């Protein structure tokens, strides 16, 4: 049974009916996608008029829902969330009466900004709304739920609400304590099981989360639960189970965008491109202007080796998400997509001016080590374009930033890596005196580390000796190969060392482990410092053809079109 079997007999009327079902559930994101499909499939004027009328009705409902959310957030003194809801309502205005109503609310919002605002704290890395009692928080958070779920949660009582609010705020221990008590009283309630599973997942108890969500899934066939189960299978590296769960979700609703997005993500995580690519292409066909879909497509194509399609996807992200604020002149763009596209242009050896344009935007929005790396990469591009003056300008800028970094750097490996990078750039600008000064400073640290058996330090001692003997710095590609080999060796040796320690093996194996102590002015360092040393080394030699995109497992919650979170979903806002 394939993940993408086409089901026949779906015409415009079928999608109108499905839109009605989702409207009743307050799942406006999925309803909007259905009605768009209904309009597209309409074969007669009558069908098109019926579908268009339904879309107008749906748009009106979305407008009023957003308006009520804005009012709710204003009552809770959450001006930022209120503004987001107002923006969403504005995108769904259809009549002059609605516009006047919205303008009145906007004026009220401006007044709110002048008043004392509730300050957000961050607890366990999650946003935490303060200054509100449980009732206020409940009214704030519940607006994100479909109507039927919100009603059921309300019926579960105050103890459930308190535990559920703790879960939303990242207070997982408190949430688990409360939800476990609720579960004892409602052991057959799949909604309670799901929220308890989410709490276990948030705390990192993957096995408990898996068991609880499987119980919930068995009790109630629900797409949202299956998608959450798939995430946990990824975390547990059970890719075969994840595929089975996603297959079941696809069987429930083959047209669900969230399901297709998770299947595409599964293809990326499990390197199962035979399923991932068809899924992402199905999404692109349905919602081609969705930034998150194009971003995910770029990553999948890149990992699968299709550079042309990856470049097309990343440039689509750049086209869709490249905006200059007319007041502040501040550019808003996707830095990772821009870097990926620039790297692919360089790898393909084409369109260097476009690569420079993208890198220049990144350069204007970076600082510290990242800014230095971008300057050097741009200098490399200008060198390929035979524009020496621009190359030297960028290299000089990188040196200015490295001066600041060296001032703030800890003595030892961190400073030594920066000094070595500084020496390489100074060498390119023809400043032999500064180059030698930095090489000497770095050598003092690396020499001590090399004597203690650290392979990376030994490599850099050899590199500096070669440079002093008149040899050029090796090409970046060669440096990257050696650094990759070091990283693999270091990881393997650490793993073996840990295994020996756990087995109580005290055999004399001096070559099996790496001594990470540093014979330098600080006398000793720890593994974290050496890891940072390796990371700085890798960054120093970073090549744009080796494109990395931030993952974020992404558990990809923000990178997916989640129709089940209709109240605040990006898909709703796009209409």
Which pLDDT value is given to residue 127?
45
User: For the ranges 196-205, 351-360, 559-568, which has the lowest average pLDDT?
Assistant: 559-568
Dihedral of CA 268/273/275/280: which sign? positive
What confidence category does residue 64 fall into, taking pLDDT thresholds of 50, 70 and 90?
A: confident
Q: Where are the domains of the chain?
A: 1-117, 411-496+511-540
Which pLDDT value is given to residue 521?
25
- Report, as an integer, the average pLDDT of 63-88: 75
302: nearest Cα among 290, 289, 317, 319: 317
- Classify 78 as helix, strand or coil: coil
Of residues 108 and 419, more confidently modeled: 419
User: For the ranges 147-151, 406-410, 441-445, 520-524, which has the lowest average pLDDT?
Assistant: 520-524
Within 10 angstroms of residue 321's Cβ, the number of other Cβ atoms is 16
Residue 126, beta-bridge partner list: 123
Which pLDDT value is given to residue 398?
92
Q: 371-407 in b/e burial notation, b at 16+ Cβ within 10 A?
A: bbbbbbbbbbbbbeeebeebbbebbebbbebbeebbe
Measure the CA–CA gap between 123 and 104, rounded to whole angstroms.
Answer: 35
With a CB cutoff of 8 Å and minimum separation 6, the contacts of 198 are: 167, 209, 228
With 0-12 CB in 10 A as exposed, 13-18 as middle and 19+ as buried, what is 209?
A: buried
Q: What is the dihedral of CA 282, 283, 284, 289, to 10 degrees?
A: 160
What percent of the chain lies above the pLDDT cut of 90?
Answer: 38
Question: Do residues 446 and 416 lie in contact, with contact meaning Cβ atoms separated by under 8 Å?
Answer: yes
Q: 510-531 in b/e burial notation, b at 16+ Cβ within 10 A?
A: eeeebebebbbeeeebeeebbe
Residue 123, beta-bridge partner list: 126
**pLDDT for 109 beyond 70:** no
262: nearest Cα among 317, 218, 312, 300: 300
Q: What are phi and psi of 553, to 5 degrees?
A: 30, 25
Question: Do residues 258 and 246 lie in contact, with contact meaning Cβ atoms separated by under 8 Å?
Answer: no
Dihedral of CA 196/568/314/258: which sign? positive
Measure the CA–CA gap between 418 and 423, rounded to whole angstroms.
Answer: 9
The label of the residue with tokens 């998608």 reads: 227
Give, as one character, the DSSP assignment of residue 311: H
Output the CA angle 174-176-177, nearest 5 degrees: 65
**pLDDT for 30 beyond 60:** yes
Measure the CA–CA gap between 337 and 343, rounded to whole angstroms.
Answer: 10
What confidence category does residue 518 fall into, taking pLDDT thresholds of 50, 70 and 90?
A: very low
**pLDDT for 118 beyond 90:** no
Per-residue pLDDT tens digits for 123-139: 344 444 445 667 777 77
With a CB cutoff of 8 Å and minimum separation 6, the contacts of 284 are: 293, 294, 297
SS (H, E, C) 531-546: HHHHHHHHHHCCCCCC
**pLDDT for 119 beyond 70:** no
Which pLDDT value is given to residue 494?
61
The label of the residue with tokens 């497509």 reads: 297
What confidence category does residue 107 fall into, taking pLDDT thresholds of 50, 70 and 90?
A: confident
Which pLDDT value is given to residue 487?
65
The label of the residue with tokens 């840990």 reads: 498
Question: Do residues 66 and 89 lie in contact, with contact meaning Cβ atoms separated by under 8 Å?
Answer: yes
- Report, as an integer, the average pLDDT of 17-43: 86
Which pLDDT value is given to residue 448?
85
Question: Do residues 183 and 193 lie in contact, with contact meaning Cβ atoms separated by under 8 Å?
Answer: yes
- Report, as an integer, the average pLDDT of 49-58: 92
What confidence category does residue 520 fall into, taking pLDDT thresholds of 50, 70 and 90?
A: very low
End-to-end CA gap in the chain = 34
Per-residue pLDDT tens digits for 282-316: 999 988 888 889 999 999 999 999 999 999 999 99
Measure the CA–CA gap between 356 and 363, rounded to whole angstroms.
Answer: 10
Per-residue pLDDT tens digits for 214-239: 999 999 998 999 999 999 999 999 99
**pLDDT for 529 beyond 90:** no
Element (H, E) at 120: strand 120-123
- Report, as an integer, the average pLDDT of 74-92: 74
Flag whether the pTM goes above 0.85: no
Structure tokens at 341: 């596209």
Which pLDDT value is given to residue 246?
95
- Report, as an integer, the average pLDDT of 145-162: 87
User: For the ranges 46-60, 453-467, 487-501, which has the lowest average pLDDT?
Assistant: 487-501
Per-residue pLDDT tens digits for 312-353: 999 999 999 888 777 777 788 899 999 999 999 999 999 999
In angstroms, how far is CA 122 from the centroid of its own chain? 19
Which pLDDT value is given to residue 315?
96
What confidence category does residue 77 fall into, taking pLDDT thresholds of 50, 70 and 90?
A: low
- Classify 416 as helix, strand or coil: helix
Measure the CA–CA gap between 228 and 247, rounded to whole angstroms.
Answer: 14
With a CB cutoff of 8 Å and minimum separation 6, the contacts of 516 are: 452, 454, 525, 526, 527, 529, 530
């Amino acid at each position: 049974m394939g993940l993408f079997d086409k089901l026949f007999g779906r015409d415009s009327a079928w999608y109108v009916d499905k839109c009605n079902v989702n409207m009743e559930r307050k799942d406006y994101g999925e309803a909007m996608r259905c009605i768009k499909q209904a309009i597209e499939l309409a074969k007669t004027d009558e069908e098109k008029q019926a579908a268009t009328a339904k879309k107008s009705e749906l748009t009106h409902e979305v407008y009023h829902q957003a308006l009520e959310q804005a009012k709710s957030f204003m009552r809770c003194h959450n001006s930022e969330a209120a503004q987001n809801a107002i923006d969403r309502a504005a995108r769904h205005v259809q009549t002059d009466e609605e516009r006047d109503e919205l303008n009145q609310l906007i004026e009220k919002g401006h007044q709110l900004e002048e008043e004392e605002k509730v300050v957000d704290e961050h607890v366990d890395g999650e946003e935490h709304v303060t200054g509100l009692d449980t009732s206020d928080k409940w009214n704030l958070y519940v607006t994100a739920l479909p109507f039927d779920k919100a009603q059921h949660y309300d019926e579960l009582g105050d103890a459930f609400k308190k535990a559920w609010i703790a879960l939303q705020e990242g207070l997982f221990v408190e949430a688990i304590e409360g939800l476990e008590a609720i579960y004892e009283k409602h052991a057959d309630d799949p909604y309670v099981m799901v929220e308890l599973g989410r709490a276990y997942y948030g705390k990192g108890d993957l096995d408990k989360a898996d068991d609880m969500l499987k119980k919930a899934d068995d009790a109630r066939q629900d797409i949202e639960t299956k998608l959450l189960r798939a995430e946990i299978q990824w975390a547990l590296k059970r890719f075969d189970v994840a595929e089975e769960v996603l297959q079941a979700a696809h069987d429930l609703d083959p047209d669900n965008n969230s399901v297709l997005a998770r299947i595409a993500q599964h293809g990326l995580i499990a390197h199962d491109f035979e399923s991932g690519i068809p899924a992402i292409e199905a999404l692109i066909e349905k919602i081609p202007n969705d930034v998150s879909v194009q971003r995910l497509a770029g990553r999948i194509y890149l990992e699968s080796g299709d550079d042309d399609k990856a470049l097309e996807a990343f440039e689509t992200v750049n086209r869709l998400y490249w905006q200059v604020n007319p007041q502040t002149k501040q550019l808003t763009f996707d830095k990772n997509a821009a870097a990926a596209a620039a790297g692919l242009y360089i790898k393909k050896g084409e369109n260097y001016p476009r690569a420079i344009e993208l890198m220049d935007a990144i350069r204007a929005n970076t600082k510290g080590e990242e800014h230095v790396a971008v300057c050097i990469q741009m200098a490399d591009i200008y060198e390929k374009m035979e524009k020496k003056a621009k190359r030297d300008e960028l290299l000089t800028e990188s040196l200015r930033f490295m001066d600041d970094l060296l001032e703030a750097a800890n003595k030892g490996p961190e400073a030594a890596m920066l000094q070595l990078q500084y020496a390489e750039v100074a060498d390119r600008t023809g400043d032999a005196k500064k180059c030698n000064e930095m090489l000497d400073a770095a050598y003092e640290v690396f020499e001590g580390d090399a004597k203690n058996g650290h392979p990376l330090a030994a490599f850099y001692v050899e590199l500096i000796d070669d440079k002093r003997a008149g040899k050029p710095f090796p090409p970046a590609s060669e440096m990257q190969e050696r650094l990759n080999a070091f990283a693999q060796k270091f990881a393997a040796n650490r793993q073996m060392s840990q295994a020996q320690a756990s087995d109580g093996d005290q055999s004399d194996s001096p070559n099996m482990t790496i001594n990470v102590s540093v014979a330098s002015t600080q006398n000793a360092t720890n593994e974290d410092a050496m890891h940072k040393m390796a990371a700085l080394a890798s960054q120093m030699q970073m090549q744009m053809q080796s494109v990395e995109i931030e993952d974020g497992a992404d558990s990809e919650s923000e990178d997916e079109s989640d129709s089940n979170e209709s109240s605040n979903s990006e898909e709703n806002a796009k209409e």
